[in-house]
Each structure stands twice: as C-alpha cells, then as structure tokens.
Amino acid sequence: MPKKTFFKKLLIWRAKYISHKQFVYLLSIVIGFTSGVGAVVLKNLTHFIQHLLEGNLVQYYHHAFYFLFPIIGFTLVYFIMKYVVRHKVSHGIPSTLLAISKRKGIMKRYQMFGSILTAPITIGFGGSVGLEGPTVATGAALGSNISRLFHMNQTTRNLLVSCAAAGAMSSIFKAPIAAIIFAIEVFSLDLTIASLLPLLLASLSAILTSFFFFGDDVLLPFQLEDKFDVADAPLYMMLGVTASLVSIYFTDIYERVQKIFDKVKSPAKRVVFGGIAIGILIYFIPPLYGEGFDVINNLVAGNPEKALENNFLDMDLSNIWVVILLLAGLVVFKIIASAITFGAGGVGGIFAPTLFMGSIMGNCMAKIINNSGLISTPVSESNFTLVGMAGLLAGVLQAPLTAIFLIAELTGGYDLFIPLMITAAISFSITKYFVPHSVYTMELGRKGELITHDKDHAVLTLMDINTVIETNFKKVTPNMTLGDIVHKAVIKSNRNIFPVVEDKSNKLKGIILLDDIRPIMFDQSLHDEVKAKEVMQNPPAIINMETDKMTVIMKKFQDSNAWNLPVVKHGEYVGFISKSKLLTAYRRKLINLTH
C-alpha cells in the first residue's frame, strides 16, 4: 500500500479536527496575508521602475524619454506574455468576475504571477493605469488556487476569491471597511454572517501585512480641514450631476477605444500604435504618466501649480482660469490614455484613473464656483476634490457604498459623510440609467454572464447548459415512413418526442410528438404511405447553444409553455432540454449557492 504524502495526511488531520467553518476562517487569514504581500511586491516593483526612469532619466537627462518609455514598456510586456507567462494577462477585476461567473471560481495558476510580471512594467514605463486591478487579480488567483489545493467547493472558492479582493484593497488603501464593502458590492457577494467574518479576517490580515511592510505610509494621506456646511448641499448635488456626466464620458470613451484596438489583429501593431499614442500624450501632458496619485495629493494639499508645472505650452499658472483649463484637460485625456494603455496590451486597473479624474473634476468645479462670483462664501476645494473622487467611483464602477466608505476612511473621519452620500447617490443613479453596466462588468453584462445580487439571475448564470441536455431521443429523417418511425423509433424509445433531422447534415427540421401519430400508427395501410415530413411540426421554440444563456432558455420555456425544447449548435441537432430537469438543476444550484 503506497505511503500517504504529508499533504494528504494534513488534509485527513484537518477533516478530523478542524470544522469546515473554522478552516475557511483560517484560509481567509492566509489569503488576506498573501494578498497583502502581493500588493507590497507590485507597489515596490512599480515605484522602483518609476524612480529609475522618471526620477533619473527624465529629471537629469531629457524630457523626450517620456516619448520612448511606453513603447519600450508595452514591448517588454508583450514578450513576457508570449515567452514567460505564455498566456494573455487579462485586466484584473473583469477576469476575476469571469472566474466567479462562468468558471466556478477557478483561476489559472499563471494568473498568480502574470500581473506581478507585467503590471509594474506597464505602469513604471508610463502606462496610464492603476495597480488596484492587478493586485486584486493576483490575490484572487492565489485565493482560488489555495482553495482548490484544499478541495473547497465552488461556494467557498467564490467566497475566498472575494476575500482576496478585500485583502488587496485593504492593503493598498489601508481602508479595511471599504475593502469589505468593495468585495460585496463589486463581486455581488451575499452579505451573511458566514461571508462577513471571512471578509473581515482577510481585510484585517491584509492591512496588518501592509503596516508591517510600509508602516504608517498611506497612498492618499488626507487630513480633513473644512467641515461640511449644509448650505453647500445644492453644490454637492451639482457635483453629483457633473460626476455622472463624466462617468458616462469615461465609459463611452473606454469602450470606443477598446473597439478601435480590437480591429487591429496584430499584437505588434497594437504595441506600436499604442506606444506612440501614449508617448505623445505623456510627452505633452506629463501628469498622465503612471497612476497619478502625486497629482491627487497636490490637489488636496492646495498645490495644483505643482501638478501642472511641466505643461508643454509653459502657460502662466498664476492665472486661475489657465489652471482650470489645464485641469479640465487632464480629466478629458486621462481616460483616453488609460484606454489606449489597455488597447496596446498593457496590464493595469481602472480604479486609479477613476480616482485621478474624480479628484481633478471636483477640484476644477470648486475653482469654477469660487472664481465665478456665483456665491459669496467660497467652498472647500479640498472637500470637493475628495467628494469628486467618490462621485466618479460611484458612477464609473457603479459601487456607491465603496466610494462613500473609501473616502470616509481615507480622510480619517466621517465629517464628509453627508456630501459623499449626496454626490455618490446622484452620480450612481444617473449613470446607471444611461449605462446599465460598469466598466468592470460591461463585457460580461452584454453576454448575460454577469453574477448579480438578483438570486434567480445569479443561479441561472452559474448553471451550465451542457449539464441539462438530454440525448436519449430517437432521431428520424424527413423521408422515413410511418412504419419505420413505429419500428425504429417509437418501439425502441421511452420518450414521447422524436427529432426530425437531415440524414447527412444532422440539421434539425422539426419534431414529431407521439400524440401526432398515435391516431394513425396502428393503421397498417398507412405505414408505407405517410412520411415523417408530413406529420412533423415546428418546435414551439429552439434553444441555440451558441447564443442562449440560461436566463434566455428559462424565458423560452415560460413563453412557449413547452416541457421539452430541442437544442441546436450551428444549426445541427444536439439534444433536448426538459423543463423538469432544468428546474431540478436550478434547485440544486440554489441550495449550493445558499449554503
């Protein structure tokens, strides 16, 4: 008898002495730690590359290096994907959502290190994206593979993937509550005690890891100075409306640029075109280089001139309207730069560009209000900068609670809670009306593969069509006689429905119900005269394996009132789905999802 390995012994010991719930708690702590370490590695690598390039070459040699960096960076990323990772490294959070929605929480092993190798080079060499998405993807892949290692079921895997996402956000921003809300809101996780405690443990483990490596350093070190004045409420409502308009612009430009790059089939051409485009943008607009948190911190500190001092026209920054114009330009061009970075094959996240644009939008609006003579008492520019970030997060990511709690935690207090709620609610509501899906969920939502908080829809999305197709139906051909149908199909089948298919192509032509032929099947004189094509009928509906999702299939059963519907793929007959089997599978999946 072969000896048990140490790992098998560990699994047996765990099953005997540690309950499933306790073990999930333990794994959530481990996954929080690994997510924290992943965040540390990504951040340090990126900052090292940025310091090496922007801090030395640009500062001490020549500004023209801005033009060269992106092409070099995208080329390196392309070769790393092709020869080292050997897979395309997808955008962080959408790839994690896809794993939860369609892959039962399973993420490939290369996703554990793919983003670590490619995201720092993308951003370090000037890619105008953020580290949050890659950090979440790295942590989520670690969480998925750790849960698979210990044979966790699908529900637990999804929970641990969400724990990794919470851990990543907690570690990056040192905002543990916002991180938990982010996991619940973005990953559509059901909020129960069973899911809340693992999320809390993962978030706590990650933030302690971040404190261990970075100490008290905070990515966005804000100190709230101005309190909320209730008289400013209408102005924050205006900010919410403005945030929704910018959110719609953000999503539209992002999608348009992605479609342009999708038409370019050659990866080499995408690298060259994208690299040149980003190079031109950051050569003329240096604040677009990388994540842009330095720009945000300068705005909050009241030093916009420092963020804009390298403007290529050498414009007079003592003129406030010049400053407003340049800031508005950053809002317009940041998403273009971010979308081009993704299109060119760069790896990063959309979270940082959203914060960047939101902060500038808020600051810009406050400056316009204060210098237009519309009000006698000036509004707080730093507060508008902070609330602007929440407004755009609520609109672009369609995660209003994450936006509110993130800014509240970053400012170290809840004095801005009311304006945050006003702006986030308005921005989210208006954006959601015009743009049904966030940037993260756009592609999945369009395909009907998106997990949502709607339990029925979530269960249907998780179901696999292949598991409910039945193939034990006797096929007949259009020219088969009634006698052959009786002897070769009816007698040999225990089903009361028969698909009529072309003999060679297997194309579905119709169906014959036993009720259709029962009145004539015992009349021997008709056995050679009546053919299948004369008694067949069109099915009440046809299920297309290529295009129909489970939600569509369920609607077809509901609309047709049928008990069995045929399934085709490329027009060829595959089998049938019965309503009873579909409902049984649905009930089973619902039980698995809620336990």
The model's pLDDT over 15-40, given as tens digits with 9 standing for 90+, comes to 777 877 888 889 899 999 998 898 88
CA distance linking residue 450 with residue 340, whole number of Å: 25
User: Is 458-593 in the same CATH topology as 6-214?
Assistant: no
Q: Identify the CATH class of 6-214.
A: mainly alpha
User: In this predicted structure, what is the pLDDT of residue 419?
Assistant: 93
8-state DSSP, 287: G
Summary mean pLDDT of the chain:
82
Given a contact cutoff of 8 angstroms between Cβ atoms, the answer to whether 452 and 188 are in contact is yes
CA-CA distance, 165 to 184, in Å (whole number)? 10
| pLDDT for residue 383 | 87
Q: Between helices 233-262 and 381-396, what is the axis angle to 10°?
A: 50
Residue of 257, 306, 293, 254 whose CA lies nearest to 439: 254
Give one DSSP letter per residue of 496-532, joined into a string.
SEEEEE-TTT-BEEEEEEHHHHTTTTT-GGGTTT-BH
Residue that the structure tokens 């895997």 belong to: 157
If residue 202 lies in a helix (H) or strand (E), which one and from where to where?
A: helix 193-214
Kindly report the pTM of this predicted structure.
Answer: 0.76
Q: What CATH number should be reported for the domain whose range is 458-593?
A: 3.10.580.10
Is the distance from CB of 478 to CB of 500 less than 8 angstroms?
A: yes
Taking the C-alpha atoms of residue 64 and residue 532, their distance in angstroms, rounded to an integer, is: 77
- Which of 204, 176, 191, 188 is closest to 28 using CA atoms? 204
Task: Say if residues 549 and 559 touch (Cβ distance below 8 Å).
Answer: no
DSSP 466: G
Spatial CA neighbour of 24 closest among 213, 171, 146, 160: 160
Q: Domain limits of the chain?
A: 6-214, 230-451, 458-593
Q: Could you give the CA distance from residue 254 to residue 126 in angstroms, rounded to a whole number?
A: 18
Give me the residues of the chain with pLDDT under 70, please.
1-4, 7, 54-65, 91, 101-102, 104, 188-194, 216-221, 223, 307, 309-317, 413, 442-464, 588-595
Chain segment 177-203, per-residue pLDDT in tens? 999 998 888 876 666 666 788 999 999
Quick one: pLDDT at residue 1? 38
Query: Distance (Å, rounded) from C-alpha 221 to C-alpha 410?
Result: 7
Between CA 411 and CA 420 the distance in angstroms is 12
What three-state secondary structure class fits 578?
Answer: strand
Task: In whole angstroms, give the CA distance from residue 183 to residue 97.
Answer: 11
**What gap in Å lies between CA 595 and CA 468, rounded to an integer?**
22
C-beta of residue 42 within 8 angstroms of C-beta of residue 134: yes
Q: Per CATH, the architecture of 230-451 is what?
A: Orthogonal Bundle (1.10)
